[in-house]
Structure 1
Amino acid sequence: MSEYVRNKINSIEFLPTFPHVVDEMMTLINDPRSSASDLARHMDPSMVSEVLKVANSAYFGRKNFRQIATIEQAVAVIGYAGLSCIVLQMPLFALMRGGTGDFDRKGFVRHSLACGTMAKAVSEIFSLGNPNTVYISGTLHDIGIIVIFQYFKDEWKEIDRLIEQERLSRLEAEREVLSVDHAYVGAVLLEKWDLPDAVTESVRLHHSPERIGENGDAYATWLSNKLAKHIDFESGFEDFDTFFKQQRELLHTEMPDKYLTKHHVGVLERGYTQLSEIERFIEETLGEQ
């Protein structure tokens, strides 16, 4: 069945391509020496269009009285964190475009960006893998779910039936129907898009901690997914201390040899605080995609 999945993904004629420039863009965004002009030179036309569209959206339009016409102006308005959200949302929206049925796009993007943000913080705190790599793998870790929803319609219905009627978890239902789970499906897609092996392998293993071994990128992606699932988006982000107290046991259990200094907690808090801006960004811009 895994070959069936791989062959079907490879045979999808209109499967969106992942812009190869995205990897370069994320490196530039996280390079303090880079400028908005550097970013503009590396963007393809579709990316420029998307960034300008968001910069001129109602959310940012309330802060500006003139039309945003250049990437340099857009970056000044959106900021680098907002730009990274747009860049990494693009493949998710490309896959979701035109889909019908009951799929929580906002919840999916929200969790994806939360996982990417927490992955970067976890990577920096525990020196696990590369922060830029895990930001990408964390954000794209569940992309296989979209692929199943869009391109395996009959299998998706059966998976939903098993979840609702047989009380299976999503992973169990996926493996029952497809013999593989969405982590495998996502990895196959990312291989097709020719993303770095570190990203692809981290996505493949994000539900298989027993197979991670010494792979720091995969470990950071797996751990950040667990953290992101405990973030309560509905109640806001004012109380970091409560969140940290709840997750400290998880971090200590998974990283028993690591000591969390005040600096480490500060890194985690900055990542957590950034999620509040990401949430506002999603609320204001997702409806315009």
Structure 2
Amino acid sequence: MTEVVKASFSDIVGRVNNVPSLPEVVTQVVRLINDPRSSADQIHKIMTKDQAMAAKILRMVNSVYYGLPDPVHNLEQAIVILGFKTIRSIALSIAVINLFQQQDANFNMKSFWTHSAVMAQISRLLAAKAQLPDPEVAFIAGLLKDLGMLILVQHAPDETKKTIAVAREFRYDIQRATRKVLATDHAEIGAWLCEQWEMPEDLSDAIRNQSNLEAASDKKLTSVLMFGEYLCGLKKIRFAGQCGEPKIDAEVWTHLGIDKTSLVEVLSVINDEVDNAKTLLQIVM
């Protein structure tokens, strides 16, 4: 009996003829915000080149998501009030979610983006509690964590369908199920995409090692993603193929400094974070 050769990482990315690219405005904004010498005026001038995005950012700023006491009437004011890093998170959220809107009969996009948006919110919350230097990086990591699945849905549809079937039959988590079908997984593909977008190295590394804390270079950021996924599992906030039982390694708790009391505190505000995620999606999509 001939053994079936599993498609490798190189095979899958080789099928991607055109790597999805972020809008030039967003790329410029991210570069500016990552440069400590940049000013609000510079960021404002770039962002006004994309009026649709500017309008969505203003809608977001004036939504219950931020709950500001007074309405914000212009983009420049929004940049000053929210800060550069928060604006970066919003701009990336709008760009990435709008970039992947293809429909697939075997993959529910609404469930996927709901999970990703909740992951982003929870990751920011956990990062703040764990005193990471930039919780907004954790927000972006949470949002992009499972993006490799959408590359697989687009460019490996048959294998993805088999993966979901395996996950459902054996109650596997999505990475274990994917490795039964492919010689790669969505985490490796997602990290590759983040590298194409010139995301910070620690962010790409955390996404690649989202199930392998030992291999991760940034243990805290990777632990944030692991704990966020655990909480999403407890709350049944999942997308197609996520069928394993929620579990978490004791080392993750240690890296984040979270005890049972802290867990209760986090769980008590998860519903608020889910509502915030829904607000984000209503404005962006």
Superposed pair shares fold, TM > 0.5: yes
Instruction: Please name the residue that 1:149 is paired with.
Output: 153
Partner of 1:20, secondary structure, is: helix
Amino acid aligned to 2:12: V
Which of 15, 20, 23 is the equivalent residue of 1:8?
A: 15
The Cα of 1:204 is off from its aligned counterpart by 0.5
The Cα of 1:191 is off from its aligned counterpart by 1.2
Q: In the alignment, is residue 110 of structure 1 matched against residue 114 of structure 2? A: yes
The Cα of 1:264 is off from its aligned counterpart by 9.9
Instruction: Please name the residue that 2:69 is paired with.
Output: none
Which of 208, 211, 229 is the equivalent residue of 2:233?
A: 229
After superposition, residues 88-107 of structure 1 pair within 5 angstroms as 88-94=93-99, 96-107=100-111
Q: Deviations over 1:214-255 (max 9, x none)?
A: 53222222222222333367xxxxxxxxxxxxx9x9798732
Shift of the 69–126 alpha-carbon distance from structure 1 to 2, 3 Å rule, reads closer
Preserved CA contact (<8 Å) 2:58 2:74: no
Preserved CA contact (<8 Å) 2:191 2:205: yes
Question: For structure 1, which segment, 176-185 or 83-92, has the greater mean C-alpha deviation from structure 2 after superposition?
Answer: 83-92
Q: Deviations over 1:35-72 (max 9, x none)?
A: 6x5642342744x4134257579x97xxxxxxx99535
Q: Find the aligned partners of 1:53 and 1:136 in 2 and give their Cα distance.
A: 18
The Cα of 1:271 is off from its aligned counterpart by 7.3
Instruction: Please name the residue that 2:242 is paired with.
Output: none
Question: For structure 1, which segment, 191-200 or 103-112, has the greater mean C-alpha deviation from structure 2 after superposition?
Answer: 103-112
Which of 3, 28, 39 is the equivalent residue of 1:21?
A: 28
Q: Find the aligned partners of 1:40 and 1:276 in 2 and give their Cα distance.
A: 29
Which of 40, 47, 56 is the equivalent residue of 2:44?
A: 40
Preserved CA contact (<8 Å) 2:48 2:54: no
Q: Find the aligned partners of 2:87 and 2:223 in 1 and give their Cα distance.
A: 26
Q: TM-score, normalised by structure 1?
A: 0.67
Q: Deviations over 1:129-181 (max 9, x none)?
A: 63222221111100001111112222223323433456554222311222111
Q: Find the aligned partners of 2:144 and 2:49 in 1 and give their Cα distance.
A: 22
Preserved CA contact (<8 Å) 1:114 1:275: yes
CA RMSD of aligned residues (A): 4.3
Q: TM-score, normalised by structure 2?
A: 0.68
Amino acid aligned to 2:97: L
Shift of the 263–3 alpha-carbon distance from structure 1 to 2, 3 Å rule, reads closer
Runs (5+) with no aligned partner, structure 1: 61-67, 234-246
Preserved CA contact (<8 Å) 2:191 2:207: yes
Preserved CA contact (<8 Å) 1:85 1:113: no
Q: Find the aligned partners of 2:163 and 2:153 in 1 and give their Cα distance.
A: 10
Shift of the 49–192 alpha-carbon distance from structure 1 to 2, 3 Å rule, reads same
Instruction: Please name the residue that 2:52 is paired with.
Output: 49
Shift of the 156–215 alpha-carbon distance from structure 1 to 2, 3 Å rule, reads same
Shift of the 165–43 alpha-carbon distance from structure 1 to 2, 3 Å rule, reads same
Q: In the alignment, is residue 205 of structure 1 matched against residue 209 of structure 2? A: yes
Partner of 2:161, secondary structure, is: helix
Preserved CA contact (<8 Å) 1:122 1:268: no
Runs (5+) with no aligned partner, structure 2: 1-7, 64-71, 238-245
How many percent identity over aligned positions?
17
Instruction: Please name the residue that 1:217 is paired with.
Output: 221
Preserved CA contact (<8 Å) 2:121 2:277: no
Partner of 1:180, secondary structure, is: coil
Q: Find the aligned partners of 1:142 and 1:216 in 2 and give their Cα distance.
A: 18
After superposition, residues 1-289 of structure 1 pair within 5 angstroms as 1-9=8-16, 12-13=17-18, 15-17=20-22, 19-21=26-28, 23-24=30-31, 39-43=43-47, 45-46=49-50, 48-52=51-55, 71-72=75-76, 75=78, 84-85=89-90, 87-94=92-99, 96-128=100-132, 130-165=134-169, 168-212=172-216, 215-231=219-235, 254-256=252-254, 258=257, 273-282=272-281, 284-285=282-283, 289=285
